[in-house]
Amino acid sequence: MPLIEPFKGLRYDTRRIGSLSKVVTPPYDVISPEDQATYYSRHPRNFIRVVFGKGYAADTLERNPYSRARNTLEQWVQDGTLKQDPEPSVYPYLQEYTLSGRCYRRWGVVALVRLNSPRIFPHEQIRERPMQDRLRLLETVGASLSPIFGLIPDEKGGYERFIRQICRRRRPAAVAHLEGVKHSLWRVSDPTWIKQFKTDLRSKELVIADGHHRYAAAVAYRDFQKKNDLHYSPRAPYNFAMFYLAAAGKQEPGLLPTHRVLRRFPQRRIRQLLQGAATQCTVQPTRGIKDLTARLQRLQAQGRLGIGFYAGNGGHLLEARPGSCYRLDVEWLHQEILPQWIGPDVEIVYTQDLITASRQVRGKKAQALFVVQPPPLTEVLDRARAALRMPGKTTYFHPKPLAGLVEYKFGGC
């Protein structure tokens, strides 16, 4: 496990802003333009203005979303909207959420993680454009604004019990509700507990669940700063990034599938896809989107590989023939199906909302939909340890750690 350190977190003063729920946001990469406008209107000091600010036609190299984020953060620190905690701390973090009618609780800790550890394991491929976007924000603002979501394998539950024990008789320092999820944050500055926390994690692995572009940006920023810092120190703040270190048991109920919606995909090419696929795999008609997803789930439980294809009719189940070289449906989709039948002119939109996506297809707002299953958590962990990257948008971990609960400002305030 990499070196873990406490930090003096920067947090909202709720006496100045009122409800914390009105100023926090999800990570930038799950915020649509419509969501961005909603967060802007929710509160004049919503953290969206820092973590994912609007761009305007009149923007220049000097005045842009990145410079506005820096100026906004500095202004909020100066006027007391954001205050720095008085001593180095770590921040136990509980997420309470509901999926398919069942309630779940995910425990973790927000802390700093040294970036050069060989025991940090990403699992997804990244794209250059979003990485450069996060790098530019990091360079301009000089702060880790949204915690990278990391998993600590915890099959026996010892890590989670250790966190719950310190929180048992303490009131949370912050509580926020967003999109049906309750987020509770504690602050622990007890040196004895922090020392034991660091010791316990020393032999652990850290698998990145979400935030691969933010992690890559932090590493790139660290490398540039280290190269140009005449007074380099291993303790320099840019050597660390803020992580949410969540306990990961044998199962992860929040690991959801990310489906692919196709727009600008002509009807004739839909027929060509189904005809071509029938020569390479088994294609079976289904009775609708519910039947399609149920059959996909049964295939996965049997260790068989399948992908759903829905174009407003009953749908079709594409099942790989025995002996397929692919272990994941998204790898089969991205390495074989999409290159053969989906041209670069087709727009692919990623979503976890299967109901809305299927309605868009039926309403002609989209032309087709690929339905996939989430990979098993063990597959994610094994791939990460083996340095094997999955295609982007293979995994979606719900809920995300919020931006705006606590921030790490380089060099203090």
Q: Are residues 245 and 303 in the same domain?
A: no
pLDDT given at position 137: 97
Question: How far is it, in rounded angstroms, from Cα 124 to Cα 71?
Answer: 33
Q: What is the DSSP letter of 265?
A: -
Q: Is the pLDDT of residue 2 over 80?
A: no
- pLDDT tens profile 338-351: 998 888 889 999 99
Beta-bridged to residue 397, according to DSSP, are 255
Q: Are residues 151 and 217 in the same domain?
A: yes
What is the number of domains present in the chain?
Answer: 2
Q: Is the pLDDT of residue 120 over 90?
A: yes
pLDDT given at position 217: 97
Q: Are residues 223 and 314 in the same domain?
A: no
- pLDDT tens profile 212-229: 999 999 999 999 999 998
Q: Domain of residue 308: give its range.
A: 258-373
Mean pLDDT on 122-133? 94
Does residue 175 form part of some domain? Answer: yes
Q: Are residues 126 and 266 in the same domain?
A: no
Please report, to the nearest 10 degrees, the dihedral formed by the alpha carbons of residues 300, 306, 311, 315 taken in order: -70
Cβ burial 42-77 (10 Å sphere, 16+ → b, else e):
bbebbbbbbbbbeeeeeeeeeebbbbbbbebbeebb
Q: Are residues 241 and 358 in the same domain?
A: no
Mean pLDDT on 225-238? 90
Does residue 391 form part of some domain? Answer: no
Tell whether pTM > 0.75: yes
Does residue 43 form part of some domain? Answer: yes
DSSP string for residues in 22-73: GT-B--GGG--HHHHHHHHHH-TT-THHHHSPPP-TT--SSSSHHHHHHHHH
Question: How far is it, in rounded angstroms, from Cα 373 to Cα 304?
Answer: 11
Mean pLDDT, rounded, of the chain = 93
Mean pLDDT on 293-306? 93
| Other CB atoms within 10 Å distance of the CB of residue 140 | 17
Question: How far is it, in rounded angstroms, from Cα 408 to Cα 7?
Answer: 7
pLDDT given at position 63: 94
Tokens at residue 91, please? 């921040």
pLDDT given at position 412: 61
Q: Are residues 179 and 277 in the same domain?
A: no
Does residue 93 form part of some domain? Answer: yes
Please report, for the domain that includes residue 247, its CATH number.
3.90.1530.10
Question: How far is it, in rounded angstroms, from Cα 115 to Cα 122?
Answer: 12
Q: Are residues 55 and 178 in the same domain?
A: yes
Q: Are residues 228 and 108 in the same domain?
A: yes
Q: Are residues 8 and 150 in the same domain?
A: yes
Does residue 211 form part of some domain? Answer: yes
Q: Is the pLDDT of residue 411 over 80?
A: no
| Other CB atoms within 10 Å distance of the CB of residue 290 | 13
Q: Are residues 88 and 236 in the same domain?
A: yes
- pLDDT tens profile 42-82: 999 999 999 999 999 999 999 999 999 999 999 999 999 99
Predicted confidence band of residue 320 (pLDDT cuts 50, 70, 90)? very high
Please report, for the domain that includes residue 284, its CATH number.
3.30.1760
Q: Are residues 342 and 401 in the same domain?
A: no
pLDDT given at position 1: 44
Q: Are residues 124 and 14 in the same domain?
A: yes
Does residue 191 form part of some domain? Answer: yes
Q: Is the pLDDT of residue 165 over 60?
A: yes
Helices (H) and strands (E) in the chain, counts: 14, 21
DSSP string for residues in 292-355: HHHHHHHHHHTT--EEEEESSSS-EEEEPPTT-S-SSHHHHIIIIIHHHH--TTSEEEEES-HH
- The answer to whether 370 and 333 are in contact (CB under 8 A) is yes
- pLDDT tens profile 73-117: 999 999 999 999 999 999 999 999 999 899 999 999 999 999 978
Q: Which helix (H) or strand (E) holds 359?
A: helix 354-362
Three-state secondary structure of 154-210:
CCCCHHHHHHHHHHCCCCCCEEEEECCEEEEECCECCHHHHHHHHHHHCCCCEEEEE
Mean pLDDT on 370-399? 91
- The answer to whether 111 and 243 are in contact (CB under 8 A) is yes
Question: How far is it, in rounded angstroms, from Cα 371 to Cα 317?
Answer: 9
Does residue 383 form part of some domain? Answer: no
Does residue 340 form part of some domain? Answer: yes
